[in-house]
């Protein structure tokens, strides 16, 4: 799938990756030893601080423990962190196939994820890493989607104007943030829709309407000549 005049930038969580399963979550819950109804709201309440890189992973989980009124040892915090980390590593094969097709077509790609800096190594050095030319991790940049500054940083780092970037994210607010600086956005709802969208950006797809218009014009001309005769 060749899109030679664009850089396609992908979000990671719940676009390339699949959501943590119930079994994944149960492991975290059992290690935490607290009511799941209390755990997950606290998990998300301060996640932006971790993803922005303003706190580290140990502090993030220690803050959750404090807010829940429990105490976890450093070893237990590591266990909880690892169980959560693993739960985000599974990827959707159908989306991986799209990445493979883009790479085979010579399309330049990048990853832009709201994630803690601990994910940087997993992104770059797992098999997934071979699919991308550039990586942008919010926790490393101290910036966060959907703030315009993170998209501006990506465009500058890629060395291209914003209108040459295509950004894929499952969260509409993040896509709108990208569009605010001139990036073309697509809200991810499924692999089939994503493939259709990207195939519509290929040169062959762009040429099709012109070809159809020419064919229609020729047909109209022929019909007109036939009527005159």
Nearest to 111 by CA among 54, 167, 53, 159: 167
DSSP codes, 127-154 = GGGGG-SEEEEHHHHT--TTSHHHHHHH
Task: Enter the pTM of the model.
Answer: 0.86
How many whole angstroms separate alpha carbon 41 and alpha carbon 27? Answer: 17
Q: How far apart are CA 19 and CA 16, in angstroms?
A: 10
Across 6-17, average pLDDT: 98
Token duo for residue 19? 């959501």
pLDDT of residue 145 exceeding 70, the answer is yes
Is-contact 156 138, C-beta < 8 A? no
pLDDT value, residue 214: 43
**Residue 187 phi, psi (nearest 5):** -85, 120
Q: Are 141 and 117 in contact (CB under 8 A)?
A: no
User: What percent of the chain has pLDDT above 90?
Assistant: 88
The pLDDT-based confidence of 112 (bands split at 50, 70, 90) is very high
Tens digit of pLDDT for each residue in 68-110?
999 999 999 999 999 999 999 999 999 999 999 999 999 999 9
Architecture of domain 7-16+91-200: 3-Layer(aba) Sandwich (3.40)
**pLDDT of 228 higher than 60:** no
pLDDT band at 205 (very low <50, low <70, confident <90, very high): confident
Mean pLDDT across 137-148: 98
Looking at the chain, the domain(s) classified CATH 3.40.50.1000 span 7-16+91-200
Average pLDDT over residues 164-177: 98
Which residue, 26, 58, 116, is CA-closest to 66? 58
Residue in the block written with tokens 């992104």: 123
Q: How far is CA 129 from CA 22, 112, 132, 178, in A?
A: 27, 12, 6, 23
Distance (Å) of CA 66 to CA 31, 79, 177, 190 = 16, 17, 33, 38
pLDDT at 208: 52
- DSSP codes, 47-81: HHHHHHTSS-HHHHHHHHHHHHT----HHHHHHHH
């Amino acid at each position: 799938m060749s899109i030679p005049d664009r850089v396609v930038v992908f979000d990671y969580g719940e676009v390339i990756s699949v959501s943590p399963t119930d079994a994944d979550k149960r492991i975290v819950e059992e290690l935490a030893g607290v009511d799941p109804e209390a755990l997950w709201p606290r998990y998300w309440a301060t996640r932006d601080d971790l993803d922005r890189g303003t706190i580290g992973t140990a502090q993030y989980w220690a803050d959750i423990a404090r807010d829940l009124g429990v105490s976890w040892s450093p070893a237990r915090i590591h266990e909880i962190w690892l169980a959560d980390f693993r739960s985000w590593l599974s990827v959707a094969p159908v989306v991986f196939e799209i990445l493979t097709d883009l790479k085979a077509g010579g399309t330049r790609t990048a990853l832009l994820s709201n994630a803690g800096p601990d994910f940087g190594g997993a992104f770059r050095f797992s098999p997934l890493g071979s699919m991308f030319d550039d990586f942008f991790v919010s926790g490393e940049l101290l910036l966060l989607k959907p703030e315009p500054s993170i998209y501006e940083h990506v465009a500058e780092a890629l060395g291209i104007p914003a209108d040459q970037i295509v950004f894929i994210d499952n969260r509409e607010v993040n896509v709108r943030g990208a569009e605010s600086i001139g990036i073309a956005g697509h809200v991810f709802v499924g692999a089939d829709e994503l493939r259709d969208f990207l195939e519509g950006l290929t040169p062959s797809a762009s040429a099709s309407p012109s070809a159809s218009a020419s064919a229609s014009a020729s047909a109209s001309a022929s019909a007109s000549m036939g009527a005159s005769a």
